[in-house]
Chains A and B, each alone.
Chain A
Amino acid sequence: MLSNFSLEDAEAEALGQDLSQIIEYISQLDELDTEGIEPTYQVFEMENVWRDDEIKAQEADREALLALAPEAEDNQIKVPKVL
């Protein structure tokens, strides 16, 4: 559900098995004492990297982007009805 795959039973079972092995492996981290340690989400020492609020022409326009869509109509992306 979270991954959004529709898997055949056999594939789901095989993946499930792999997954349990992998989870077992990564669970060894339990041994490591991380009490009082701050997490590192980015190995990048900079802060406040931002840009000015100015409109700029983009490298690809609407036509170039919508040309990539499997289905489009009226300059919009077409999808099966969203319930």
Chain B
Amino acid sequence: MQIASKEVSATSLVKAALEKAKRCENYNIFISLNEEAALKKAQEIDEKIKKGENPGKLAGVPYALKDNFLSKDGNTTAASKILEPLKSPITATSVKKLEDEGAIMIGRVNMDAFAHGSSTENSYFGPTKNSKDEARVAGGSSGGSAVAVALDIVEFATGTDTGGSIRQPASFNGVYGFKPTYGAISRYGVVAMASSTDCVGFFAKSAEDIDLLMSIAAGQDPYDLTTLPNYYETSEVKDVKKVGIIKDFDVKGEIKEALEKEVEDLKAKGIEIVELEMPTLKYALAVYYIVVPAEISSNLSRYDGIRYGYRNKDAKSLDEVYGKSRSDGFMPENKRRIMIGNFVLSSGFYDAYYLKAQKARTLIIKEYEKAFSKCDFILSPVTPNPAFKLGEKTSDPVSMYLEDVMSVPINLAGLPSLAFPVSETKDGLSLGLQLIGPRRSDKSLLDFAERRLK
């Protein structure tokens, strides 16, 4: 990626990014631009460069922030009405780390409200359009992040991935999207969706760029008890010999062709391909749509119109403050998930749904462990189909959920996975695949992608 230097100033990089962002308004990528602060920061970096001070590893690099990260720069909406945008007094740990290295946030990008969705259509600010075909969805929930990178507005963008929210839009837009091992990057200051699967990750134009971002953002944070002790930089890069493919997924059409071509390429490079039987994975989507809504219903309880965000002006009683503020403030998909969550946690259904799902989760994790005893990484499609049309699935939530079938099992097991672009359909839509590794194999995964998949 282009770093600011004596030759190329941070100011020019940021100005170019802002201009491009404005030219791409028709895609509805940005919820808000951070123009003034970004230019001021660019100036500061240029000063540092002039004085010969260290401007940081990401000096002057413009980036887009998914709008579910808190930062003192700008207001956070999580693409919902209920945060009414929040002027946050705190900054997320991950954002702080990036900015300490000189990265410059030029704007906050669109997403499905509270990251609930696979198309960025569930945004209070309207859908973001696909970078290859404006009639199609950007994917989601981090749709804005993917399109901002795909259209070359920014060098990288942050994302969050709870069930595929980085990898799916990355693959719908032909960019790299990385969901690290659960616990690699602090969740402090990131609007929570499902605490046990939420991961902060990145969109960029190469695995190498993502490696740099990981080396900066990963690490233990006393403000997030579920962060792993620093392992990213110190982990050994392994010599990859075997890559597995999952027999149980029903892969069709152009995605199947892309997968087969990649397999042939790997074989040609001397990699052994191992066929894996993973029969439990087909239950992962059901497990996901129990566990994740349960955590969502819990995490979204705090949006009550009391301490911050939107409060319905006509609410007279306390019950009305809750009821009306939440009804107005949440999108229908938020409400669906909250209601499913409350259902699976309610007394009488807890054992049959929530507990059962968490047991099934154990089986899924074991299945991955078994798979990784036979191969180093797993190669898989990210989605069953390329980007679908805007509005195509909005009236049928289950069909929308089915788009996540190949991405959610990875989150349930907390594994790292990199979505990378491979080719295009005959209609010019992006096709991507993902490479999945065991926990803490992040660095090897990115290294392999950089060296062997190109």
Contacts and interface: CB of A to CB of B under 8 A. Distances in A.
Asked if the two chains touch in their complex, CB atoms less than 8 Å apart, one says: yes
Interface string B316-350: 11101111101100101001101110111010000
A57 interface: no
A44 B220 CA distance: 13
A26 B288 CA distance: 9
Contacts of A71: 311
Interface in B289-334: 289-290, 297, 304-311, 315-318, 320-324, 326-327, 330, 332
A44 B304 CA distance: 30
A3 B297 contact: yes
A29 B414 contact: no
A79 B311 CA distance: 10
Nearest to B338: A3
B89 A3 contact: no
B359 interface: yes
Contacts of B448: none
B436 to A, nearest CB: 14
Contacts of B321: 79-80
A60 interface: yes
A73 to B, nearest CB: 13
Contacts of B412: 43
B326 A5 contact: yes
B89 A65 contact: yes
Contacts of B182: 43-44
A39 B356 CA distance: 8
B12 interface: no
B49 interface: no
A46 B228 contact: yes
Interface string A61-78: 000110111110000010
A2 interface: yes
Q: Which of A30, A70, A77, A79 has the most CB of B within 10 A?
A: A70
Contact of A37 (B315, B346, B359): B359
A4 B307 contact: no
A50 B90 CA distance: 22
Interface string A1-27: 011111100010011001101110111
Contacts of A38: 359, 362
Given A18-B336, A25-B398, A68-B307, A49 B286 contact: no
B266 interface: no
B196 A79 contact: no
B249 interface: no
Interface of A: 2-7, 11, 14-15, 18-19, 21-23, 25-32, 34, 37-44, 46, 49-51, 59-60, 64-65, 67-71, 77, 79-83
Closest 10 CB pairs of A and B: A43-B414, A6-B323, A39-B358, A60-B89, A68-B308, A34-B359, A70-B311, A64-B89, A2-B342, A49-B225
Interface of B: 86-87, 89-91, 182-183, 196-197, 222, 225-226, 228-229, 280, 283, 285-287, 289-290, 297, 304-311, 315-318, 320-324, 326-327, 330, 332, 335-336, 338-340, 342-344, 346, 353, 355-363, 365, 397-398, 401, 412-414, 439
Given A44-B414, A68-B89, 15 more contacts: A2-B342, A4-B304, A15-B336, A18-B397, A28-B283, A29-B353, A34-B362, A37-B359, A40-B359, A41-B358, A43-B196, A46-B226, A59-B90, A77-B307, A83-B318
